[in-house]
Structure formats: C-alpha cells, structure tokens
C-alpha cells in the first residue's frame, strides 16, 4: 500500500488562486516520489499538475467558485496512493476605494475601483444607502459609479457597495458615510 499524503490543508485563498499543503507520508524520506494534484470546479475538466514539494499554489482560478482538490503520492514506477481530497471556495473580490465625489442637498455621486480578478466574470454592484432610523435604499449598477438621489438635506447617510456575481453570491461590503448639504434658506 502506497501511503497517501496526510492533512491536506488550504493555507490561503484569494480571488484567483489558492495555496494548499499536506504532510509528507511517513517512511518516504529516501524514496523517489512526487505528488500529483488535480483540481476542478463543477462542469469542467480537471487541471492536473505535479510537484516534489508538499505544497503548491493553484493559479488561474475563477472568483467565487468552489473547487475540488485532490492530491496523491506517485512513485517512480507510476504507482499511485489513494487520493486525499479537500474543497475550497475562492473569494469574491470586493469593490475598493469607495469615494464620495460630490454632494449637494438631495444627491451624492460615489465611485469605486473595480476589484482585480473580475475581467472574465459577469458581475454587477449592489449599492445600499440609508440615514439612521430608515430602511436602506438598494440599487444595482454595472458601472463603478452611481449618483444617489432623493436624499434629505443636512443628513448623514451610510453607503455600502458589494460585488454580485451572476449566481447571486456577494463579496464583502465596502462602506463609507456622507453628509448632504443643508438646504439654503429662502431669502
């Protein structure tokens, strides 16, 4: 029986890559062997790669996607151990640098940076804004900016934005506050 790698662990995950590691099987210090790693998401062909080290970074992943990862020990003669498996879910990147560009009495323009890792992925942004004691207004846009309208003058608003994928999964929220201008008194 060829011993399988032990303790397959996901060390870190970001939007388009993941680092995984495992324990070298006992008794293999002097034996020529390597590891074969296979990973795929639902409905796709597995990517297969090899390494001599007990760790690897899996590149070119899709954000917000669940992957099945397996690793096995392979001897010089090609014989393989049983598979050790794990699942991981990549991160959905949140919008960055949410900025208030302009404010007047009843509206405010806000913008943000498109997060990396979304070039090949269908997505939009969900914006929520409210003042204390009121229900949030929720709206969506496909562009990285929006003008919030129908605001009250001289009022502080909490504003959040998140990335939303086609499957409805959302990123972490990026948030800021803004205060509208007080209405000018009638002369």
Residue 45 lies in a domain: yes
- Banded model confidence at residue 173, pLDDT cuts 50, 70, 90: very high
Q: Tell me if 135 is assigned to some domain.
A: yes
> Looking at residue 148, what is its pLDDT?
96
Query: Of 90, 51, 35, 92, whose CA–CA distance to 68 is shortest?
Result: 90
Give the CATH number of the domain where residue 124 resides. Answer: 2.60.40.10
Which residues are CB-contacts of 103 (< 8 A; sequence separation ≥ 6)? Answer: 109, 178, 179, 180, 181
Same domain for 81 and 32, yes or no, is yes
**Residue 187: inside a domain, yes or no?**
no
Q: What distance in Å separates the CA atoms of residue 92 and residue 116, rounded to the nearest whole number?
A: 10
Dihedral of the CA atoms 136, 142, 143, 147 (nearest 10)?
-30
State whether 15 and 66 are in the same domain: yes
Work out whether the CA dihedral 139, 142, 144, 148 comes out positive or negative. Answer: negative
What Cα–Cα distance (Å) separates residue 140 from each residue in 67, 86, 124, 130, 148?
28, 35, 7, 15, 11
Q: What is the pLDDT of residue 186?
A: 57
Q: 89: which 2 tokens?
A: 């879910």
Structural domain count, the chain: 2
Q: Do 85 and 112 reside in the same domain of the chain? A: no
Q: How far apart are CA 132 and CA 27, in angstroms?
A: 64
Q: How far apart are CA 131 and CA 151, in angstroms?
A: 9
Residue pair 74/33 in contact (Cβ under 8 Å)? The answer is yes
185 found inside a domain: no
CA 50 to mean position of chain CA atoms: 26
Do 85 and 40 have their domain in common? Answer: yes
Average pLDDT over residues 139-164: 95
Residues 61 and 110 in one domain: no
Flag whether 1 is in a domain: no
**pLDDT at position 160 over 90:** yes
Q: Are residues 85 and 122 in the same domain?
A: no
pLDDT tens track for 45-84: 999 999 999 999 999 998 999 999 999 999 988 999 999 9
Are 136 and 159 in the same domain?
Answer: yes
The verdict on 148 and 175 lying in the same domain is: yes
- Supply the range of the domain harboring residue 15: 6-89
- This prediction has a pTM of 0.78
Which pLDDT belongs to residue 183? 72
Q: What is the pLDDT of residues 90-145, one digit of tens each?
A: 999 999 999 999 999 999 999 999 887 777 678 999 999 999 889 999 999 999 99
Q: Answer for the pair 125, 95: CB distance below 8 angstroms, yes or no.
A: yes
Could you tell me the maximum CA-CA distance found in the chain, to the nearest angstrom? 92
Residue 32 pLDDT grade (very low, low, confident, very high; cuts 50, 70, 90): confident
| Domain identity same for 100 and 156 | yes
């Amino acid at each position: 029986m060829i011993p399988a790698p032990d303790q397959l662990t996901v060390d870190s995950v970001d939007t388009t890559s993941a680092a995984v590691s495992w324990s070298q099987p006992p008794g293999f210090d002097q034996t020529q062997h390597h590891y074969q790693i296979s990973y795929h998401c639902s409905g796709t062909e597995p990517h297969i790669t090899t390494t001599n080290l007990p760790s690897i970074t899996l590149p070119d992943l899709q954000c917000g996607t669940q992957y099945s990862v397996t690793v096995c020990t392979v001897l010089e003669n090609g014989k393989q151990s049983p598979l050790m498996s794990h699942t991981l879910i990549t991160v959905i990147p949140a919008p960055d640098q949410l900025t208030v560009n302009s404010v007047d009495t009843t509206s405010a323009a806000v913008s943000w940076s498109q997060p990396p890792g979304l070039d090949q992925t269908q997505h939009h942004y969900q914006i929520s804004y409210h003042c204390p004691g009121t229900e949030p207004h929720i709206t969506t846009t496909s562009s990285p900016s929006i003008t919030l309208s129908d605001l009250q003058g001289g009022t502080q608003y909490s504003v959040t934005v998140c990335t939303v994928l086609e499957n409805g999964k959302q990123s972490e929220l990026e948030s800021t506050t803004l205060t509208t201008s007080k209405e000018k008194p009638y002369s």
